[in-house]
């Protein structure tokens, strides 16, 4: 049985995004990337990185006098867990109420609708 996906906060997910874009990175590189995108202080970013390391979402490898950090959790695995959690908690585990909600409360553009239609057709072909 695979290891459970660690719970990652909204703030921690922003650190993960930096590492999913490019890895490995030093803490200095991660801090610089996040400070370009936010007004977070260096200590905040290092604290988030430490939490992710403790949770096993990030790994660290010694490189001379510094550490290089890499994601130990893939974006796909995290997205799968997060989307399943959302469906279960908010929509009773069903996808159709989620889509109905978005169709009623969010603006779906022509491109979104075309992508959904294509996805549904692909699913129907697999089930035949």
Say if residues 78 and 8 touch (Cβ distance below 8 Å): yes
pLDDT tens by residue, 16-33: 999 999 999 999 999 999
The answer as to CATH 1.10.4040 being correct for domain 75-127 is yes
Structure tokens at 24: 């490995």
Q: How many Å apart are CA 8 and CA 25, to the nearest integer?
A: 19
pLDDT tens by residue, 51-110: 999 999 999 999 999 999 999 999 999 999 999 999 999 999 998 898 888 888 888 888
Burial of 37 (0-12, 13-18, 19+ CB in 10 A): exposed
- This prediction has a pTM of 0.81
What pLDDT is attached to residue 2?
A: 62
Say if residues 99 and 116 touch (Cβ distance below 8 Å): yes
What pLDDT is attached to residue 31?
A: 97
pLDDT surpasses 60 at 1: no
Of the options 3.90.25.10, 1.20.810.10, 1.10.10.10, 3.80.10.10, the CATH number for the domain spanning 10-71: 1.10.10.10
């Amino acid at each position: 049985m695979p290891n459970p996906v660690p719970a990652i906060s909204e703030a921690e997910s922003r650190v993960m995004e930096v590492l999913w874009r490019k890895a490995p990175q030093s803490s200095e590189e991660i801090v610089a990337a996040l400070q370009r995108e936010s007004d977070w202080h260096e200590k905040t970013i290092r604290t988030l990185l430490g939490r992710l390391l403790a949770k096993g979402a990030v790994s660290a490898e010694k490189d001379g006098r510094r550490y290089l950090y890499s994601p130990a959790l893939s974006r796909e695995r995290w997205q799968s867990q997060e989307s399943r959690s959302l469906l279960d908690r908010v929509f009773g585990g069903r996808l159709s109420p989620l889509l109905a909600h978005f169709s009623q409360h969010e603006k779906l553009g022509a491109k979104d609708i075309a992508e959904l239609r294509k996805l549904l057709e692909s699913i129907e072909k697999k089930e035949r």
